[in-house]
Chains A and B, each alone.
Chain A
Amino acid sequence: DIQMTQSPSSLSASVGDRVAITCRASQSIDNWLAWYQQKPGKPPQVLIYKTSKLESGVPPRFSGSGSGTEFTLTISSLQPDDFATYYCQHYNSNSPTFGQGTKVEVK
């Protein structure tokens, strides 16, 4: 199975900061990567699919980039609603896997 590794596991940031989260795949997944946001007690919600495509309704401060094995989720200006845990997920095969998550906390 393809392993997905996110970094960092957690980060502290302030409102207005630019935040970047990296996701590395153990082998090439082309651009079959999604990013999800999850808040405590809630299900995940997709933010970005196919590496860089913004899901409908997601603010444009979220963006995704990368290809092959290295991908990045960027929040251009962190807002209070963005403090949450973020997961990457590959869907390059019939056995999708998630990264371990990155918790974005208030500095």
Chain B
Amino acid sequence: EVQLVESGGGLAQPGGSLRLSCEASGFIFSSYEMNWVRQAPGKGLEWVAYISSLSSNIYYADSVKGRFTISRDNANNSLFLQMNSLSPEDTAVYFCARERAGAGRPDWFDSWGQGTLVTVSS
């Protein structure tokens, strides 16, 4: 069974940092492209960042470019999101999402974690 479990959320001060983790199991993690998607309270879904299976390609939403860094550790089946210079607008539930494998092009998200809440407030 595919499982994605996020952790690392919590309360951060404006201008502060947090590092989110997503632990994957039930599939060959190193074969899949991964993403972070966030959802502000009561709002819709916003794609945040993408990383290819071997970390050779990385993309970010304009709203987080230069502040957030996506990375992965295939040996330990883990995905990360380093978030710096946080602002209240970054307050959201952050989901890790697996992209369907093997298409050779962008694809839909076929598995999601339960999410971890990040609150940015003084």
Q: Which residues of A contact B (CB under 8 A)?
A: 1, 32, 34, 36, 38, 42-46, 49-50, 55, 87, 89, 91-101
**With contacts A89-B108, A91-B106, A98-B47 known, what are 19 further pairs, Cβ within 8 A?**
A34-B108, A42-B114, A43-B95, A43-B112, A43-B113, A43-B115, A44-B109, A44-B112, A45-B112, A46-B110, A50-B108, A87-B45, A89-B45, A89-B109, A92-B106, A96-B47, A97-B47, A99-B44, A100-B44
With CB as the reference atom, state the residue of chain B lying closest to A96: B47
> Could you tell me if A46 and B44 are in contact, using CB atoms closer than 8 angstroms?
no
Q: Which residues of B contact A94 (CB under 8 A)?
A: 50, 57, 59, 106
Docked Cα-Cα span, A93 to B50, in Å, equals 12
Q: Which residues of A contact B44 (CB under 8 A)?
A: 87, 98-101
B61 in the interface (beta carbon within 8 A): yes
Which residue of A38, A55, A96 has the most chain B CB atoms within 10 A of its CB atom?
A96
With CB as the reference atom, state the residue of chain A lying closest to B62: A1
With CB as the reference atom, state the residue of chain B lying closest to A87: B45
What total of chain B residues lie within 8 Å of the partner, measured CB to CB?
A: 21
> Could you tell me if B47 and A95 are in contact, using CB atoms closer than 8 angstroms?
yes
Chain B contacts with A in 50-66, Cβ cutoff 8 A:
50, 57, 59, 61-62
Q: Nearest chain B CB to A95's CB is how many angstroms away?
A: 7
> Could you tell me if B106 and A46 are in contact, using CB atoms closer than 8 angstroms?
no
With CB as the reference atom, state the residue of chain B lying closest to A89: B108
With CB as the reference atom, state the residue of chain B lying closest to A34: B108
Q: Nearest chain B CB to A49's CB is how many angstroms away?
A: 5
